[in-house]
Structure 1
């Protein structure tokens, strides 16, 4: 997809009754490199939309009022938030009226080379990745701590600027679940990240009852109906208990867990893709019975391509049938009192709290990431899942049982719905032209100022990022100078040099 096509799809969904939109970026944007980076070739626009400049954000949101449409920006570019705020200024929308969530995200719980240089630096020191953190090397802890401080700085900035309708801080457990870990880790790891951020803000004198209401979560809904239902029920209990007992929260809004649910992309299979409609519907039902406040149903063709208009519409209609025809939304916590559900909820509560306590004993989530613990747990979980599928201890319909010849699947529309690479190539050429024709003096100054702000720990780093947006700096450039500011190489892939030296 491109920003223009994404804008057209969003406006189509709104015309079909959608009341909230979610913008998901492509892989190069997620790893914070530009679309014209050599390693981005073939990946631009394939699993989301590229966000390389401020204009991309403006194009995606063109014709959509920021004070009328609830928006989640799952776009891990350092330009997303500053571009959105500048667009609000352009539309004349006060920050207090912005209806957006997820514009700032805490440091990743994993340590991929692209965001934090973990594998890269481990390789340079001759340390096997599975042993990162076990040989006394401080590969990631200082970077993780600086990233967490930046996250806290931005959250404080938005709170102080009275962004009353915004839930700027989003902790994304959905991404965690997509790595193959279980329901317990999905909740516990994200709560541990949030609690670490709260500790930082508490030390600055910020009132927890001013901070916690501005935090939201994104969770996954898999197909194990009861596990997912009790996951959401237990999460609310764990959240309220910790906010009250650990942080002294008294405002009921602080104790309320605000979360959005996406039906899991990981359960969408390439084989017999039409039956993914059923999988997504069951996941959506689990989310509704578990008490989600908002929901997005994955397209049945998500394992094959960016969802077609047909797939996106079916996902939307699934939500609408669930909301308006089934009756599940008419009562809160409809399964309360069931012996089975209550006993599973109690067990899930205990297991989640146990993992949170273990991470805090390690020194918090940043320390757990730096030690390599989180990555090792992810790799073990994924290996276990794959082995269960291969050994048929876990039956996946259409994959390892009840299969059909592949040629019978060839007529599914999704197989013919591929990225228009002519449009993508034009987008990349436009990006190159922007880099050639912008004011190099303004771009250089904005990036240099940002680097100094990162090096000195300036608490208003968002202001420097906004200046980079105005100077037409790109995602890769802004992320690159921020990496330089914390002592990492400019390009996570080791291919490009800083363009303004």
Structure 2
């Protein structure tokens, strides 16, 4: 009996006796699954061509042959708040609790390229991340942490070159060999224009700064991933899983094309490109998204861009559970949501994972909430058995069929973006914003109509539950201003002036800016001073409203 026969002769009569629930069974990308999947759904599926083995092209089953049997994913909890000392204390607490990598959150002034004492920074210093305005702050932030033993991720974009230079300068001052530094710089400016909106300069010069890191990074800090092409923020802004996948890969291909235009060797820079995905509540869709992402990247890098190094074809990724999916109502329920999302990331084959704290919707996570989030990963790693099997869902009729569907839908978007002239053209026309707004509106409407149930929000509602929250002392802002004044008093004024002049000249003359940023860091030029130099050269970007 084939699937169609079973649906008509067995399922249909059963559904008349026990009617299907009035529930929206479609995925969050609005794809409606069948009640059953069989081999009939994979009639044109070739396991050798489309699946392969782990660690082999097209990497559908993972980028390493042994996956978590050989090495667990990096447990990299996002942390950053208040002063550099406060975040340093949290770093050490997480490392003592068993975290295996650091991930740094910066405050809004830092993300926007302003010093902590700038008028625009008032009221925001240390609120959504740590305040870093100069090398002095970076030194405090990583006090007592060996950068050659712990890999560090830094979520920074517009000022990425300057912040990375401060991190590198701090390692140099400690006497470390740059060739031994490992970590990841987010450095994905395109997704800022698409989703998060923390941009400074127009797209073209902003992308140029990214490509400076592509050129400089492999030759000086070869173990560093100088970009994490980020779907996370696109998904948090309202995109579906398919849109997140398509728009993020399109961004990645855009960077590859710009690097090739500069004359860089694809097999020199591509192995250091990494990715960053959101992991939402639709369990199987998220797993299929990871698998489709690896397959698309591998095929496009080999067949379209001519990469030959196998590492150029491997999509390596960090993942984070979906902050946007964690409501403020009944916050303890979010512990279950995070566990399910984390399991999907592991079954999807992530290399690194951050699990959100249950109190994300209320405030910056308390140390207890952050520890519970880390323990969630450790329970998955050591108590569930999922880390002992490489890609255990391979061959599932539903997972393979869903992977194919997501791949096809994402490729359709990618070709549409290429046809309109590429990512920057899509930004200028408002294409991405319009697509995400429509998806977000559709989801919200489904929730409000109770077509999708969010436990504790539109069903199973109860009185508000109070949990402890962490607040930032306003004294942090005063302290940061005093420290900046001290930095300006004590630095070498001649070296400082020469460093900023060299940054200006590199920007104007089209030279790689990383050497100048590194000298600015050593000269204790502040972040705002460096960004102001480039504001004068590149100008500031003002987004066109999309209605």
Q: Do they superpose with TM above 0.5?
A: yes
Partner of 1:241: 299
Structure 1 residues 277-318: Cα deviation after superposition (integer angstroms, max 9, x where no partner): 111101001101111111111111111111111011101110
TM-score using structure 2 length: 0.79
Distance in 1, matches of 2:307 and 2:343, equals 32
Pair 1:303–1:433, CA change in 2 (3 A) = same
Distance in 2, matches of 1:346 and 1:399, equals 33
**Counterparts of 1:39-438 in structure 2 under 5 Å?**
39-76=120-157, 77-78=159-160, 79-102=162-185, 104-110=187-193, 115-116=199-200, 143-161=202-220, 163-406=221-464, 409-410=465-466, 412-414=467-469, 417-435=470-488, 438=491
Partner of 2:536: 484
Distance in 2, matches of 1:168 and 1:472, equals 23
Correspondent of 1:467 among 519, 528, 545 = 519
CA contact (8 A) 1:32 1:114 kept: no
Correspondent of 1:38 among 88, 94, 119 = 119
Greater Rg, structure 1 or structure 2? 2
Distance in 2, matches of 1:84 and 1:348, equals 38
CA contact (8 A) 1:452 1:485 kept: no
CA contact (8 A) 1:144 1:370 kept: no
Task: Tell me the CA shift for residue 247 of structure 1.
Answer: 1.0
Unaligned 5+ segments in structure 1 are 118-142, 494-501
Task: Tell me the CA shift for residue 149 of structure 1.
Answer: 2.1
Task: Tell me the CA shift for residue 432 of structure 1.
Answer: 4.1
Pair 1:232–1:481, CA change in 2 (3 A) = same
Distance in 1, matches of 2:186 and 2:239, equals 25
* Stretch deviating more after TM superposition (283-292 or 150-159): 150-159
Distance in 2, matches of 1:392 and 1:313, equals 34
* Stretch deviating more after TM superposition (208-217 or 343-352): 208-217
Task: Tell me the CA shift for residue 433 of structure 1.
Answer: 4.4
CA contact (8 A) 1:110 1:375 kept: no
CA contact (8 A) 1:232 1:290 kept: yes
Structure 1 residues 193-244: Cα deviation after superposition (integer angstroms, max 9, x where no partner): 2212212222344332222111111111111101101100111111111011
User: How large is the RMSD of aligned CA atoms in angstroms?
Assistant: 2.1
Partner of 1:10: 91
Distance in 2, matches of 1:384 and 1:50, equals 37
Pair 1:114–1:170, CA change in 2 (3 A) = closer
Question: Residue 362 of structure 2 aligns to a residue in which SS?
Answer: coil
Partner of 2:64: none
Distance in 1, matches of 2:415 and 2:350, equals 25
* Stretch deviating more after TM superposition (342-351 or 263-272): 263-272
Question: Residue 336 of structure 1 aligns to a residue in which SS?
Answer: coil
TM-score using structure 1 length: 0.86
CA contact (8 A) 2:183 2:225 kept: yes
Distance in 1, matches of 2:475 and 2:317, equals 38
Partner of 1:122: none
Distance in 2, matches of 1:447 and 1:113, equals 26
- What is the number of equivalent residue pairs in this alignment? 459
Unaligned 5+ segments in structure 2 are 1-81
Pair 1:366–1:109, CA change in 2 (3 A) = farther
Distance in 2, matches of 1:299 and 1:113, equals 24
Distance in 2, matches of 1:394 and 1:327, equals 31
Question: Residue 266 of structure 1 aligns to a residue in which SS?
Answer: helix
Partner of 1:454: 507
Distance in 1, matches of 2:454 and 2:197, equals 32
